[in-house]
Amino acid sequence: MNLIKFTKEFPDEASCRAKFKEFRDREGVVCRKCGHTEHFWLKTIEKYECKKCKTRTSLRSGTVMHASNLPFSYWFIAMHLITSTKKSFSALELQRQIGHRYYAPIWLLLNKLRATMGIRDNQYQLDDVVEIDEGFFSSVDTEKEKNSNNKTKRGRGSQKKSTVMILAKTVYDGKPKKKHQKVSKFRYVKMIVMDNLKGTSVDKVITEHVSPTSIVKSDNYTSYSNIKNLVDCHVKRTVKPKEAGKYLPWVHTMIANAKRTLLGIHHMVSDKHIQGYLDEFCYKVNRRYYGEKLFDRLLIASVSINYKSVITDSR
């Protein structure tokens, strides 16, 4: 959707609110008290009322906008920007574009949209042939930063490398016709920030994100030794760093792309929030052929998940 179309479809607060309600009705409202799914719509106070227990639910409650006082139009503009740009954009940029006075609520808004994307992708497991590898992303160590007395030295000395597991679903594509062509085709990617790379942590990621009927490809790292018990087949090989790109082409391509995207937009990514940025990156890569439909997909994801337990308002 381009900007002209967007402003035509959503010229004001009322149009955004109406669209949001339309999508919420379609996805269904669940009563938080009794779990009943049939509701009356009380037009004058803009609330749903449970037909069984009379509990009232506001339009925003239980959605991405839960507890937010920002106008619907802000959310819609953010969703439009996030789904219509290939790269990413910062909260500062969005704040400027919207013309809002404070940075924090805008930052939180974007953070929640990114979390929505992550929750959505977590509903799917990768299958077929899954390449896995670990990558290290530069980030700001928030703990060190907090304990440091020298506020002016922000960033320096408190930098660290966040460990990320990268998983890429690929399908075999026959013999390459050109010299540098990859043997496999890329489908989907996941990136998971890890506390450590111990075997048990790796196993947990594989169990959650990879279908047990898959073939997993990795290098010979010791923490990967139990994977063979979790999937159909585990192919591992000792690879020299130079050849890693050839053996696991797609994870390496994705690591490089993600780093470029993050570095280009967000100069100081904190270790606490790097998962959100990676969630946005993966969500968009995984839906790269959706085109204009991406906006609607994100809107569906935004109305249909109960965020109460997932997102806390801490920064």
Q: By the criterion CB under 5 A, which residues form the site for Zn ion?
A: 31, 33-34, 36, 50, 52-53, 55
Q: How far is the CB of 17 from Zn ion (least distance, A)?
A: 23
Quick one: tokens of 115? 């979390």
DSSP 258-281: HHHHHHHH-SS-BTTTHHHHHHHH
Q: How far is the CB of 23 from Zn ion (least distance, A)?
A: 21
**CB nearer to Zn ion: pick between 31 and 108:** 31
**CB nearer to Zn ion: pick between 50 and 193:** 50
Quick one: tokens of 66? 């839960």
Q: How far is the CB of 27 from Zn ion (least distance, A)?
A: 17
DSSP 102-114: -SHHHHHHHHHHH
**CB nearer to Zn ion: pick between 33 and 153:** 33
Q: How far is the CB of 145 from Zn ion (least distance, A)?
A: 45
**CB nearer to Zn ion: pick between 49 and 128:** 49
Q: How far is the CB of 52 from Zn ion (least distance, A)?
A: 5
Q: How far is the CB of 50 from Zn ion (least distance, A)?
A: 3
Long-range contacts of 236-242 (CB under 8 A, 24+ apart): none
Can you name the residues that pair with 134 across neighbouring β-strands?
Answer: 165
| CA–CA–CA angle 68, 276, 188 (5° rounding) | 125
**CB nearer to Zn ion: pick between 55 and 201:** 55
**CB nearer to Zn ion: pick between 50 and 115:** 50
**CB nearer to Zn ion: pick between 3 and 34:** 34
**CB nearer to Zn ion: pick between 26 and 33:** 33
Q: How far is the CB of 271 from Zn ion (least distance, A)?
A: 41
Q: How far is the CB of 5 from Zn ion (least distance, A)?
A: 39
